[in-house]
Structure 1
């Protein structure tokens, strides 16, 4: 297995349906411009409350990707 050097970037994703969709939205959008993504770490969860109910989820994720040779 070769040695890897990783770089991390921080993303914020959102979704009206849940945390998992918010993460997937962030990773999917980033995949169009960030290549070689390998892992993520969720660091924050926030939400918007409307009329006493959770209306929207927002998550901050750190995404690690390998650098090109």
Structure 2
């Protein structure tokens, strides 16, 4: 039997949503092992001069705990 845990992180990107998610998972994998999934629970943007300048994603990352 395995036990999983969910942790929440916020990541950002000036490129787009997909890049923000990739950066968040990449960074989380430096300290978490056994990542099995990610849920994008929220998306926000920063706007300057009527243009989107940054995408921010709230991620819920699921990982399996080591025995």
**Is the shorter-chain TM-score for this pair beyond 0.5, marking a shared fold?**
yes
Tell me the residue number matched to 2:43.
Answer: 45
Residue of structure 1 in register with 2:12 after alignment: 14
Give 1:1-69 correspondences, 5 Å limit: 3-69=1-67
Can you give the 5+ residue segments of structure 2 that lack an aligned partner in the other structure?
A: none
- Coordinate RMSD, CA, aligned: 0.7
Cα deviations across residues 42-64 of structure 1 (Å, max 9, x unaligned)? Answer: 00000100110111000001000
Tell me, in whole angstroms, the C-alpha distance in 1 between the residues paired with 2:43 and 2:3: 28
TM-score, normalised with respect to structure 2 = 0.95
